[in-house]
Structure 1
């Protein structure tokens, strides 16, 4: 997963405004108590960050991949 794909999914799954706020403000234990945005800045793989964010927000597997329902989900890192 690339950074641009991560942000596209944030926008699609959570909505542009809420998703960006969530990524900037929600502290995630799975990311060593960092926000998604901070973890990305620190070099954590976007796929790892995406799964941590989805897990924390209880996003069901079928919804994790945005509008493209046919695309297979990459496995967690």
Structure 2
């Protein structure tokens, strides 16, 4: 997952303000007791970070891959 996709999905699922707050302030045990932003800065795969955040926030699994998108042309 690209970092831009991570932030797109974060905004879609949680909204712009809440998504940024979650990324910067939520400490996740699954990420070694780091925030998502810290984990990404440390080089963690954004997909791993996204799944850990979804799990922590009780996002239903069917939404972990984000909204359906039109195929690229």
Runs of 4+ in 1 over 4 A off after TM superposition: none
Hey, what does 1:11 align to over in structure 2? 11
1:43 aligns with 2:43: yes
Give TM-score, length-normalised by structure 1.
0.84
Distance in 2 between residues matched to 1:61 and 1:35, nearest whole Å: 21
Q: What do the CA deviations read for 1:26-72 (whole angstroms, capped 9, x no partner)? A: 0000000000000000000001000000000110012223332789x
Distance in 2 between residues matched to 1:12 and 1:65, nearest whole Å: 11
Which has the larger Rg?
2
Q: CA RMSD in A?
A: 1.7
- Larger strand share, 1 or 2: 1
